[in-house]
Amino acid sequence: MAKLYFSYSAMNAGKSTILLQASHNYRERGMNTLLLTARLDDRIAQGDNGKGKIGSRIGLQADAEMFDDSTDIFALVERLSQDTNFACILIDEAQFLSVAQVWQLSAIADDLAIPVMCYGLRTDFQGQLFDGSATLLAIADVLREIRTICHCGRKATMVVRQDADGTPITDGAQIEIGGNDKYVTLCRRHWKATMAQVTKPES
């Protein structure tokens, strides 16, 4: 039976690299994969064919279909499957999925019998779950944690957003695309200490 997988981590744990390696493994064995990524992640420019790209920090990249809030992913996969037999669907930036889209992914696994592998962040810079991640944590068949480390050597589970001067930011929009210059990955202990330093006490 096909399953819905969610591999989650803090930033800079190599999620996209693992996704691209998984796709390569399938294709090396003559099996087709379908890659999807969030339309709002424009850190890698769109290609001439209008598709997005999934890229890793070590330089790997591949073309991908794009989704946004209006995308019916089940309908997209069902349509594309008419011409191609997909062995697996791989989703990058899965935290940006809507609740409804996560349920669509479960239908792809359950009704179309295609495994779906999602990769994304669990929490935002305020320590709150993304909607897509929360729903995946609730209904995915298999949960996998991809580990990275804090500067202290402990497992990193949290992320701090900072301004151009390196000062941590405690509020703002949940979604703000950026690279290593905007985000720092920390263990929970150092995340709490960092946030406490910049949180003003109530008067």
Catalytic site residues? 93
Q: Which two tokens mark 168?
A: 């941590």
Q: In what order do the strands lie in the sheet with 52-55?
A: 52-55, 61-67, 32-38, 86-91, 116-121, 4-9, 142-145
Nearest of 21, 72, 65, 23 to residue 46 by alpha carbon: 65
Q: Which two tokens mark 93?
A: 């930036």
Q: Are 120 and 8 in contact (CB under 8 A)?
A: yes
Distance CA 39, CA 21 (A): 22
* DSSP category for residue 201: P
Report the half-sphere exposure of 170 (CA within 13 A, side-chain side): 11
Please report where in the chains the tokens 């424009």 appear, as a residue: 42
Q: Are 37 and 66 in contact (CB under 8 A)?
A: yes
